[in-house]
Chain A
Amino acid sequence: AQSVTQLDSQVPVFEEAPVELRCNYSSSVSVYLFWYVQYPNQGLQLLLKYLSGSTLVESINGFEAEFNKSQTSFHLRKPSVHISDTAEYFCAVSGPNDMRFGAGTRLTVKP
């Protein structure tokens, strides 16, 4: 079975600063990797995904993540954050039959 570890439970940053949210996974089979974002009182929204091909994937709102097989990581990055990026971010790994989520990282962007 797969598992996911999000290394930081909370990440406070100032507006326009860069940010990295860390995610490591473990699995004995090939996996697919996802980042979901959850705004207050809302469900999870898919931010970006890695299925195959290029190891660097991007979202429409400036986030990117890089799949690193040797380090079993899928860290999420953004070069310049906005107040509106304040939310909970979940890394997830999907195997053949199921999906496992990390515990989440709360990103707080301060003015």
Chain B
Amino acid sequence: EAGVAQSPRYKIIEKRQSVAFWCNPISGHATLYWYQQILGQGPKLLIQFQNNGVVDDSQLPKDRFSAERLKGVDSTLKIQPAKLEDSAVYLCASSQGQPLEQYFGPGTRLTVT
């Protein structure tokens, strides 16, 4: 069974530029999550999708972050414009339903200079 796929693995941009991350969850997993993991901290949930609907985006900085999950499969997370404090690893995870046993992708390491 293929795992959660993410791309790119690494990205370096200058502040005020925009960037997009892509995630392909495990086949059949209805729930998809985006986390931000700042160095030295645990993952923080940014947004949770159930199929193509948003369940929780309370911690998503909506003035600069956006995410979509068209057709309830792949998802894209965008930052526009980026700030220095956005430097982090962005993790995508998926699960079959409830937030039980989430499966994580390898993450995208973003560096904003």
A interface list, Cβ under 8 A from B: 4, 6, 32, 34, 36, 41-46, 49, 51, 90, 92, 94-104
A100 to B44, CA, bound (A): 7
- Is B43 touching A90 in the complex (CB atoms < 8 A)? yes
- List 5 A-B pairs, minimum CB-CB distance, nearest first: A101-B42, A43-B104, A44-B104, A99-B99, A43-B106
Supposing A97-B56, A98-B48 touch, asked if A44 and B100 sit within 8 A by C-beta, the answer is: no
Supposing A97-B55, A97-B56, A98-B56 touch, asked if A44 and B98 sit within 8 A by C-beta, the answer is: no
Chain B hits for A51, CB < 8 A: 100
- Is B45 touching A43 in the complex (CB atoms < 8 A)? no
- Is A94 touching B99 in the complex (CB atoms < 8 A)? yes
Which listed residue, A6, A36, A94, A104, touches B100 by the CB 8 Å rule?
A94
Range of interface residues on B (Cβ < 8 Å): 20 to 34
26 chain-A/chain-B pairs, Cβ below 8 angstroms:
A32-B100, A41-B106, A42-B106, A43-B91, A43-B106, A44-B43, A44-B91, A44-B93, A46-B101, A46-B102, A46-B103, A90-B42, A94-B98, A94-B100, A96-B98, A97-B55, A97-B99, A98-B45, A98-B48, A98-B56, A98-B99, A101-B42, A103-B40, A103-B41, A103-B42, A104-B41
- Is B4 touching A43 in the complex (CB atoms < 8 A)? yes
- Is A49 touching B101 in the complex (CB atoms < 8 A)? yes
- Is A43 touching B107 in the complex (CB atoms < 8 A)? yes
- Is B56 touching A102 in the complex (CB atoms < 8 A)? no
Task: Tell me the nearest residue of chain B to A4, going by C-beta.
Answer: B42
A101 to B104, CA, bound (A): 13
In the assembled complex, how far is the CB of residue A30 from the closest CB belonging to chain B, in whole angstroms?
12
